[in-house]
Chains A and B, each alone.
Chain A
Amino acid sequence: MKPFRMLGRSIRDAFKSVVRNFSLSLASISCITITLIIVAVAVIASFNVQNFTKEIERDMTIVVFLENDSTEEDVEIVKEKLEKTANVESYKFQSKIEVKKQMQAESEVFDRVLEEWEDDESPLKDTFQVKVKEIEKIGKTANAIQAIEKVSVVRYGEGMVEKMVTAFSSIEKVTYGIVIALVLVTIFLIINTIKLTISARKREIGIMRLVGASNFTIKTPFIVEGMILGVFGSIIPIIISTYGYLVFYNHFEGYLFSELIQLIKPEPFMYMTSLIVLVIGILVGMIGSASAVKKYLKV
């Protein structure tokens, strides 16, 4: 089969070229290696930020206290109104009796104090724990709930929550920006290094064109060569980032600074990160060599 034969030759030529232009290949590979290490760190950081932003957002609740004299009918009405409020994802109801039991279980002091009250004269309040869909709108939702009849107090981490959310989203944007910029810089560097290997083989390309090789035939070995450089260039970044993250994760026992910031478990996460690094390496090598060879295919 002709296409397979041609592909075989392309791959053979690409490997030959990598070995023959060893110093240049090494330069390209180290170039890819360094940038891919930084890309890997950025990817890990970006995914972790995304992960704990989501975790924190999931934990974020609005606590709604009802008036002390609320009856069971009142609770039902509030429930209905909560369901109609925009941005409410779900809610959990705790009656004052449940709250009392929970508090008694938590501490002995509470247990003694609360023991003295009968259920109907309890100072505790019926509460709702409300989860929201969009964390950015938590303030508005809280205000809407406040307006419902029989609601006494609404609490959420006012101020602090909003600040954290905006901080995280800007961190995320910055890391994405860094990753994209690095990838572009790498492509640029690859284009230039492969241009050097190609200009050393200008003669060969000229002869190939003279004897009737199609542009596709001429291009393929160089593109394969770029892919090989990409694969070799991603080996060290994959090893460093995987082991580095494992050590980092174990050292901090899965949490950064506080239990609030939870790191992603390394097991499936690092496979994915390695794959991303490998794919970026291969793509960068391919794009770089393809655009470097273009110049030599004009008459």
Chain B
Amino acid sequence: MDLVRIKNVEKKYKNGVTAIYDLNLAIEKGAFVFVIGGSGSGKSTLIKMLYREEKPTKGQIIVGGLDVAKLKNRKVYKLRRKLGIVFQDYRLLPKQTVYENVAFALEVIGAKKDEIRVKVLKALEDVGLKHKLHEYPDHLSGGEQQRVAIARAIVNDPKLLLCDEPTGNLDPDMSMEIMKVLEDINEKRGTTIIMVTHDKDIVNKMKKQVITLKEGRLVNFKKKGTYNNEAI
């Protein structure tokens, strides 16, 4: 079963720049996919269209049965509840503790207090931060902050986890730590992960599926890929 299906998608920005040309893709459930490419390759645009930060100008994007391109602005939350999203800059609330930051994702969708407690503790355990519940993000290292962000992304048990350069701000050791956490989530929870990156080492070590984009076009989609400099 495909979780994500992209059909004849084109994205042209208002300033006339075309970021994606006629893209066709299918990503199956439970996969771990890297999206790589140079700057201007359209990889960020692709992931933004998946969580409907951007709308495709042409074509169809189906995520977990939802037609993303046709989703109305006020219905976007329905898509977002099926997704977890992790960014390079963590996007945590500085005035709230680790626990509160993760619980926030469940509070705003109206979950019960007991349910929130159980799920938040489970998510924080999965990322190995159960001992730092009451710390504030400022007191954590970059890697730990990113793990909090991952915990927040998975606390709602999403089918799909989108990661936009999650290791972009981290040193190689911390990056590998994050990758282990993500791999764990992929294997234990069965969450499909799509991760945009330009970190060669990570892609080569992990040996996962690799989508390579160049100037808005799909170059190749390999089952056990590596970072191929020539293709980019």
A residues contacting B by CB (< 8 A) are: 2, 5-6, 9, 20, 203-204, 206-215, 217-218, 297-299
Contact = CB atoms under 8 A, between A and B. Distances in A.
A76 B80 CA distance: 87
B104 A211 contact: yes
B80 A6 contact: no
Interface in B6-49: none
Contacts of B152: 211
A215 B73 CA distance: 9
A210 B109 CA distance: 11
Contacts, number: 58
Contacts of B107: 9
Contacts of A218: 108
B52 A211 contact: no
B2 interface: no
A296 to B, nearest CB: 12
Contact of B73 (A20, A204, A298): A298
A299 B73 contact: yes
17 contacts: A204-B93, A206-B91, A208-B104, A208-B108, A209-B76, A210-B51, A211-B108, A211-B152, A211-B156, A212-B78, A212-B83, A213-B108, A214-B74, A214-B77, A215-B74, A217-B108, A299-B55
Report, as a range, how many residues of chain B touch the other chain: 20 to 34
Given A203-B91, A211-B108, 4 more contacts: A6-B110, A9-B107, A212-B83, A214-B74
Contacts of A298: 73
B80 A217 contact: no
Contacts of A20: 95
Contacts of B122: none
A202 to B, nearest CB: 11
Nearest to B52: A299
Max chain A Cβ within 10 angstroms of own Cβ: one of B55, B79, B109: B109
B59 to A, nearest CB: 18
Given A212-B77, A214-B74, A215-B74, A207 B110 contact: no
Contacts of A299: 52-53, 55, 73, 76
A183 B80 CA distance: 39
Contacts of B110: 2, 5-6, 217
**Closest 6 A-B residue pairs measured CB to CB?**
A213-B108, A212-B81, A212-B80, A211-B105, A214-B77, A2-B110
B77 A213 contact: yes
Contact of A209 (B55, B77, B93, B156): B77
Contacts of B160: none
A212 B156 CA distance: 10
A235 to B, nearest CB: 29
B93 A212 contact: no
Contacts of B55: 299
B112 interface: yes
A209 to B, nearest CB: 7
Interface in B62-86: 73-74, 76-81, 83, 85
Contacts of A297: 73-74
A206 B104 CA distance: 12
